[in-house]
């Protein structure tokens, strides 16, 4: 009999498993606390469980985290781990410490099939989805490894103790498109939120998506957490080239899903992520197009425009990698772009680059991926073409025709 990895089970599923063993539901809660709150991996350490139960578990279950291939530490305190997920694949997870919080960036897939032009993961291709246990194992390992580390004499000097939570925020912004792995994602999110597990607030767990519209709608109903949308372009013509998924779910559908999500969202706004690419999407005209996108009539007060989308923009300096063919916008251009959005009444921040010296910054995660999607062929494209609203190419896009100046794309996986 193959042992069940209990990291795969949320508390409801764990209760069902305990019932199969002839145990009462409260045993599942005890077991869940031992695994996720205390980081136990040996049933013999779970001293308040009956010996008979521990013996049952030893024969039928296990707590099997992923193997750590490597760990790298940045000069700014960021830590990156490479985890072995088998089959020649490995995924990366990043811990970002700050004065008021500790954020863990978690991967959901070995690779990514979306193929965004500016993302190193997309250039690696796609192998497979991670399981629920592989997603939560990243948090399980990081939380308890860091708690032990910070409980050392050095950690105690900065006020961290063994019973103090190290990770306060989780962002599903690592390798992969989380909403294309929905069935594994949602149980993992529930474990993060469970008061008997990690007890994170819905406001402190963020799912980032490139725009899988049907799954945004499902997440709203099933497990609404903070939502970040990888926008990166102010019109369909440019976004089709930067984020190929836009060809399936264009901006008007994506923005409608965002409006709908706000009804259940734990925050009163959607975060739009925008990677700043020199000469591609960073012009004043692009900034004004973005304002028109969130407030079509140009009237924006606070975060909410007449479109009804309460939002903020997070501008992300591009982290270059050789295969992208793209360049980072100069700092002065980023700040000028931000000022236009701010003057239009939209809350706008510029993300601070962390961990770029260990390739742990936004867009740099790559891991090791046994690609099944011919990514190298798909990602070898003509230079990005910029299409303004009202231009012939943009009108062709709106009419459902491919403009001649845009290189053809294969359909998304």
The residue assigned the tokens 């999500």 is 261
Helices marked H in 35-106: 51-60
Catalytic annotation, pick one of 112, 286, 311, 362: 362
Catalytic annotation, pick one of 8, 23, 92, 304: 92
Cβ(143)–Cβ(166) under 8 Å? yes
Cβ(340)–Cβ(291) under 8 Å? yes
Q: How far apart, in whole angstroms, are the C-alpha atoms of residue 184 and residue 222?
A: 13
Q: How far apart, in whole angstroms, are the C-alpha atoms of residue 329 and residue 323?
A: 17
182-193 and 11-20 helices, crossing angle to 10°: 90
Nearest to 131 by CA among 194, 92, 85: 85
Q: How far apart, in whole angstroms, are the C-alpha atoms of residue 369 and residue 391?
A: 39
Q: How far apart, in whole angstroms, are the C-alpha atoms of residue 9 and residue 22?
A: 17
Is 410 annotated as catalytic? Answer: no
Instruction: Report residue 96 as tokens.
Output: 């970002």
**Which DSSP symbol is given to 215?**
H
Is 362 annotated as catalytic? Answer: yes
Can you name the residues that pair with 155 across neighbouring β-strands? none
Q: How far apart, in whole angstroms, are the C-alpha atoms of residue 214 and residue 345?
A: 30
Q: How far apart, in whole angstroms, are the C-alpha atoms of residue 318 and residue 242?
A: 13
182-193 and 213-222 helices, crossing angle to 10°: 30
Instruction: Report residue 279 as tokens.
Output: 């000469």
Instruction: Report residue 296 as tokens.
Output: 């079509």
Q: How far apart, in whole angstroms, are the C-alpha atoms of residue 292 and residue 345?
A: 12
Indicate which residues carry an active-site annotation: 92, 362
């Amino acid at each position: 009999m193959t042992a069940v990895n209990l990291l795969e089970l949320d508390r409801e599923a764990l209760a069902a498993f305990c019932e199969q063993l002839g145990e009462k539901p409260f045993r599942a809660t005890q077991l869940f606390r031992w695994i996720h709150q205390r980081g136990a991996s040996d049933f013999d350490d779970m001293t308040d469980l009956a010996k008979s139960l521990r013996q049952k578990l030893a024969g039928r279950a296990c707590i099997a985290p992923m193997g750590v291939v490597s760990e790298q530490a940045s000069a700014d305190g960021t830590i990156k781990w490479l985890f072995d997920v088998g089959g020649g694949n490995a995924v990366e997870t990043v811990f970002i410490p700050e004065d008021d919080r500790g954020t863990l960036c978690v991967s959901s897939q070995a690779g990514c099939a979306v193929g965004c032009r500016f993302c190193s993961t997309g250039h690696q291709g796609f192998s497979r989805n991670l399981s629920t246990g592989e997603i939560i194992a990243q948090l399980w390992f990081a939380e308890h490894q860091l708690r032990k580390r910070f409980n050392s004499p050095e950690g105690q000097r900065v006020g961290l103790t063994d019973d103090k939570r190290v990770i306060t925020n989780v962002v599903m912004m690592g390798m992969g498109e989380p909403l294309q792995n929905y069935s594994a994602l949602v149980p993992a999110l529930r474990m993060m939120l469970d008061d008997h597990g990690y007890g994170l607030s819905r406001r402190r767990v963020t799912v980032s998506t490139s725009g899988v519209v049907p799954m945004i709608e499902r997440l709203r109903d099933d497990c609404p957490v903070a939502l970040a949308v990888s926008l990166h372009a102010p019109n369909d013509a440019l976004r089709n080239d930067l984020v190929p998924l836009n060809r399936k779910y264009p901006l008007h559908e994506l923005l409608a899903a965002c409006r709908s999500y706000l009804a259940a969202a734990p925050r009163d706004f959607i975060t739009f992520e925008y990677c700043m690419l020199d000469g591609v999407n960073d012009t004043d005209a692009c900034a004004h197009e973005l304002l028109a996108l969130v407030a079509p009539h140009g009237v924006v007060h606070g975060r909410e425009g007449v479109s009804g989308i309460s939002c903020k923009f997070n501008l992300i300096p591009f982290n270059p990698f050789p295969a992208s063919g793209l360049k980072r916008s100069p700092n002065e251009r980023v700040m000028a772009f931000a000022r236009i959005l701010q003057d239009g009444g939209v809350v706008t921040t510029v993300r601070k680059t962390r961990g770029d010296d260990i390739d742990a910054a936004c867009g740099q995660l790559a891991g090791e991926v046994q690609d099944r999607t011919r990514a190298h062929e798909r990602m070898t494209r003509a230079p990005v073409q910029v299409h303004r609203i009202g231009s012939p190419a943009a009108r062709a896009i709106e009419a459902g025709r491919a403009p001649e100046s845009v290189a053809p794309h294969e359909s998304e996986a």
